[in-house]
Structure 1
Amino acid sequence: MNIQLNGQVTELPEKVKTVYDVLINYELEERIVIVELNGHILSKETYEQTKLSENDEIELVHFVGGG
């Protein structure tokens, strides 16, 4: 499936079906992440149930520590 991820067309592996699967795929499931799907910010509780479709637009914002 092809989606737009942070402005880039991205082909996801076949096993990626939900927003939570995307986070696992990019090793972000244990981090604080803001997910926007097609212009709507999702609550964390919905990540596992939110299925993806071809050409969905996802924006992922996560925080990086440093100083």
Structure 2
Amino acid sequence: MTLDGSLSIRVNGEHRRVPEGTTVAEMVNLLGLDPLRVAVERNLEIVPRSTLGEVCVEDGDDYEIVHFVGGG
């Protein structure tokens, strides 16, 4: 955490900053993705979709996010 209250994380290999207290669902929304259409791995562990709104992002977390797209 920094003096400005933001956390340093990595998402799909890119460094990002998010406000302290951000949930994983909020982070996904900040990225412009729908939490119902993604799979999230946090520090090499899958985050169950049912808990995305409960799990808080922590400084130094490493995320891999895969989003599903429909088509035909």
| TM-score bucket (shorter structure) | 0.7 to 0.9
Structure 1 residue runs without a partner (length 5+): none
CA distance in 2: counterparts of 1:33 and 1:4, whole angstroms: 17
Match in the other structure for 1:2: 8
CA RMSD of aligned residues (A): 1.9
Does 1:11 pair with 2:17? yes
Deviations 1:5-39, CA, capped at 9 Å, x for gaps? 00111112x26611001111122125510000010
Higher mean alpha-carbon deviation, 39-48 vs 29-38, is at 29-38
Unaligned runs of 5+ in 2: 1-6
Query: Which fold has the larger relative contact order, with Cα–Cα distance below 8 Å and residues 6 or more apart in sequence?
Result: 1
Identity of aligned residues (%): 32
Larger Rg: 2
Number of equivalenced pairs: 66
Higher strand share: 2
Q: Output the TM-score relative to the length of structure 1.
A: 0.82
TM-score scaled by length of structure 2:
0.77
